[in-house]
Amino acid sequence: VSLIEPLTADLLATHPELADLPTPALVLHGPRVRHNIQQLADYAANVGIGIRPHTKTHKSREIARLQLDAGAIGITVAKISEAETISDPGEDVLLAYPPIGVRRAERLAHLAHDRTMRAAVDSLTAIEQVSAAARAAGSTIGLLVDFDIGLGRTGVQSAQETLELARAIDCAANVRLDGMMIYPGQVGSLPTEQADELKVIDSLVAEALDLWAKHGLAVTIISGGSTPTAYQSHFITHQTEIRPGTYLFNDMNYVRGGYCTLDDCAARVLATVISTARTGHIVLDAGSKTLAADRPSSPPDVGYGHIVEYPEAHIIRLNEEHGQADIRDCPRVPKVGDRVTVIPNHICPCVNLRDSIWWWDPGDSLRKIPVDARGRIE
């Protein structure tokens, strides 16, 4: 079985261990996952940038270890409960999320006793809460100033505001000014556009860092995004690390965005056709509780995921346990009981819907690995 051979019905037929899996099942093509991890590791080593993978995509300790073994400098999480579940003592963990709330700050400070904990902040409140919690716990937390460079989600809005937070961190007890966090989630998809946009972002970062330097503030970490921009990371010259999440699995949003091909998609949902009663339509046993209800992240709205064996089909409607596909454009039609594989629009919430996923090394083994941090939202 070739490294890039897709997980098709034909392939399934030759692997009885898959043909017998209860559906719907999420199957990882092991060689493809390893390839995706290594390919980005090679690029990052080549351009001299660290990878701090966002573990939200897989929520798995085992897969995080694969990324660390491939040279990742640490891991990223969004919620403190993910850090508690995914990370080990001695590791370097970035909470790329405002640690707001007394309980959240306390748990962050507690973890900092035996591992390097960092968090991104965009308010004085966050700095105060983290500092107070770290003082009470007797630990130290590294902070990054969250700078909004265009997405408009979290992050302060100007270089001047980054300076104010950087100075506040510098003055607060039991926290350490580690650097700046950006997330270029708004950047377009064409490589040439990306390069131009990333250069603009780089100059915004430079402006802020110059201001910091004028006030005697030197930092070591500039943490950036993202799977779509991963292979263009060298255009943000100040970046020291990137936080891609989806790159090791990929999904239809990234195929349609032009960031990867179908063959790059390592995570696929094995589903069964449960109804063909209505002509021109089929119903799969994979609905929004299996695939997640995410529509395509960019137009056109072609429905929910891609059926590998029936590429002309459109999954036009998801109910909780029903995936309804229009197959009128398909030259052949499946029958009740047939199995198909679906690449979801957005793989991260799809993984988060289940307790375990199947790691498949074709011709070798199929084994269940736990989604350790599934549902860890606090």
The pattern of x and - marking residues 14 through 53 that bind a second copy according to CB under 8 A reads ------x-xxxx----------------------------
> Minimum distance between the CB of residue 31 and a second copy, rounded to whole angstroms?
26
State which of residues 273, 315, 340, 357 lies at the interface with a second copy (CB under 8 A).
273
Tell me the CA end-to-end span of the chain in Å, nearest whole number. Answer: 41
| Count of Cβ atoms closer than 10 Å to residue 283 Cβ | 22
Q: Which amino acid is at 159?
A: A
| 354: exposed, middle or buried (Cβ count in 10 Å: 0-12, 13-18, 19+) | middle
Token readout for 359 is 């790691």
Number of chain residues interacting with a second copy (CB under 8 A): 66
CB 12, CB 270: distance < 8 Å: yes
**Continuous H helices in 178-298:** 191-214, 252-256, 288-291
Q: Which C-beta is closer to a second copy: that of 27 or that of 49?
A: 27
Longest dimension (CA), the chain: 71
Of 237 and 276, the one with the shorter C-beta distance to a second copy is: 276
Q: Select the span of 63-71, 95-103, 130-138, 221-229 touching a second copy (CB under 8 A).
A: 95-103
Selected binder of a second copy within 195, 237, 322, 361 (CB under 8 A): 322
156 counts as binding a second copy under rule CB under 8 A: yes
Site for a second copy in 101-130 (CB under 8 A): 101, 103-104, 122-123, 125-126, 129
Taking the CA of residue 264 as centre, how many other CA atoms within 13 Å lie in the half-sphere pointing to its CB? 21
Which residue, chain included where needed, has tokens 């001047």?
Answer: 160
Neighbours of 12 (CB within 10 A): 19
From start to end of 78-209, where are the E strands? 92-95, 116-121, 141-146, 175-181
Interface pick for a second copy out of 48, 90, 337, 363 (rule CB under 8 A) = 337
Q: For the window 210-229, what string marks contact with a second copy as x by the rule CB under 8 A?
A: --------------------
Q: HSE (CB half, 13 Å, CA atoms) of 328? A: 5
**Shorter beta-carbon distance to a second copy: residue 321 or 361:** 321
Nearest to 47 by CA among 224, 204, 197: 224
Q: For residue 298, count other CB atoms closer than 10 A to its CB.
A: 12
d(CA 23, CA 34): 25
Choose, by CB under 8 A, the member of 194, 229, 272, 341 that binds a second copy.
272
Distance between CA 152 and CA 163 in Å, rounded? 19
Counting contacts by CB under 8 A, is residue 87 touching a second copy? no
Question: What Å distances lie between residue 24 and 56, 269, 320, 323, 356, CA to CA?
Answer: 21, 6, 13, 11, 12
Find the binder of a second copy among 67, 226, 253, 352 (CB under 8 A): 352
Binding residue (CB under 8 A) for a second copy from 30, 31, 74, 155: 155
- Output the six-digit token pair for 42: 């090679």
Residue in 113, 199, 215, 278 binding a second copy, rule: CB under 8 A: 278
Does 328 sit near a second copy (CB under 8 A)?
no
Any contact of residue 238 with a second copy (CB under 8 A)?
no
Residue (112 or 126) nearer to a second copy, CB: 126
Smallest distance, a second copy to C-beta of residue 113, A: 20
Contacts to a second copy from residues 281-310, by CB under 8 A: 281, 283, 285-286, 288-290, 292-295
Residue 167 touches a second copy, criterion: CB under 8 A:
no
Q: Which of 79, 86, 153 lies closest to 122, judged by CA? A: 153
Phi-psi region for residue 148, left (φ > 0), alpha (ψ -120 to 50) or beta? beta
- Tally the residues of the chain: 378
For residue 378, state whether it binds a second copy (rule: CB under 8 A). Answer: yes
As measured in angstroms, the least distance from the Cβ of 286 to a second copy is: 8
Binding site for a second copy (CB under 8 A): 20, 22-25, 56, 78-79, 97-98, 100-101, 103-104, 122-123, 125-126, 129, 146, 148, 152-157, 161, 272-279, 281, 283, 285-286, 288-290, 292-295, 317, 319-322, 324, 335-337, 348-349, 352-355, 374-375, 377-378
